[in-house]
Homo-oligomer: A and B are copies of this chain.
Amino acid sequence: MIYIQLIGYVAGALNTFCFLPQVIKIWHTKQTRDLSLPMYIANTTGTILWCLYGVLVAQPPIWIANGVALFLIGSILILKIKHG
């Protein structure tokens, strides 16, 4: 069972930190034209709701992982609104 949990942790880490390269790329290029605004509005909203869910069911792994993801996804949304 321990390797199943490991798969879950690696999956969670990848899907949380995958947004970091996009933040860094925008930071360098200041270009966001090809990014979908509705995608980042929906993803930010969904991640806020996951944080809320994690708090309501008292599961720190859920709200901590989604809190980190929210910081990154929210940054992309703000940069998309700023750069157009």
Contacts and interface: CB of A to CB of B under 8 A. Distances in A.
A67 to B, nearest CB: 13
Identical copies in the complex: 2
A36 B18 CA distance: 9
Contacts of A81: none
A61 to B, nearest CB: 14
Given A31-B33, A57-B4, A11 B46 contact: yes
Among A7, A10, A15, A20, residue most surrounded by chain B Cβ atoms (within 10 Å): A15
A14 B53 contact: no
15 contacts: A4-B57, A10-B46, A10-B49, A11-B49, A14-B45, A15-B42, A15-B46, A17-B42, A18-B38, A20-B39, A22-B35, A25-B36, A32-B34, A33-B34, A34-B35
